[in-house]
């Protein structure tokens, strides 16, 4: 069983958003394997870097998709994305500075945020699409 399992209740659009989310889940699993198997800082930093970049691209794309369908909670949603981007950057800086505690927390923090954000916040897009007959 994977550390972060994909589940049906994570499905949002059966499209680009889900594809990104699945890829992010894979990256979190990769990161978890790397940090728990004691991979070197170089390996972990590389995965973390991909995660930071991919997350930024995903959040931008998701906001565009939301704007395209006139999702009414976009502004609030953007604030959530911004806060997460900041804490992710903060974690990355701490990790780069050599914090061992951060290394072991990385995958947990990312998994918890992603699963909660998808299930609670991104899910609002699905609810909206269904209500407005766009889905
Ligand atoms: Fe998302
Ligand atoms: Fe989101």
What CATH number is attached to the domain comprising 52? Answer: 1.20.120.50
What is the three-class DSSP state of 133? coil
What per-residue confidence (pLDDT) applies to 100?
A: 73
Number of domains in the chain: 1
What per-residue confidence (pLDDT) applies to 39?
A: 83
In a domain, 7, yes or no: no
Q: Where are the alpha helices (DSSP H) in 14-73?
A: 16-36, 41-68
Which residues lie near ion ligand 1 (Cβ < 5 Å)? 62, 122
Exposure class string for 93-113: b at 16+ Cβ within 10 A, else e: eebeeeeeebbeebbeebbeb
In a domain, 26, yes or no: yes
CA–centroid distance, residue 118 to ligand 1 (Å): 6
* CB atoms near residue 72 (< 10 Å): 12
Instruction: Express each pLDDT in 58-85 by its tens digit.
Output: 999 999 999 999 999 999 999 999 999 9
CA–centroid distance, residue 116 to ligand 1 (Å): 10
CA–centroid distance, residue 117 to ligand 2 (Å): 6
What per-residue confidence (pLDDT) applies to 60?
A: 98
In a domain, 10, yes or no: no
Q: What ligand has the least distance to the C-alpha of 78?
A: 2
What is the three-class DSSP state of 69? coil
Positions in the chain short of pLDDT 50 = none
Residue 7, by phi and psi: left (phi above 0), alpha (psi -120 to 50) or beta? beta
What per-residue confidence (pLDDT) applies to 43?
A: 93
What per-residue confidence (pLDDT) applies to 122?
A: 98
């Amino acid at each position: 069983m994977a550390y972060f399992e994909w589940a049906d209740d994570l499905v949002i659009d059966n499209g680009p958003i889900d594809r990104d989310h699945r890829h992010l889940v894979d990256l979190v699993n990769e990161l978890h394997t790397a940090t728990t198997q004691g991979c070197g800082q170089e390996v972990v930093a590389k995965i973390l870097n991909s995660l930071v970049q991919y997350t930024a691209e995903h959040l931008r794309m998701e906001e565009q998709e939301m704007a395209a369908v006139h999702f009414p909670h976009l502004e609030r949603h953007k604030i959530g994305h911004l806060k997460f981007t900041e804490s992710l950057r903060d974690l990355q800086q701490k990790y780069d500075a050599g914090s061992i505690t951060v290394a072991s927390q990385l995958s947990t923090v990312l998994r918890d945020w992603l699963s909660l954000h998808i299930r609670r916040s991104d899910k609002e897009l699905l609810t909206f699409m269904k209500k407005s007959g766009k889905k």
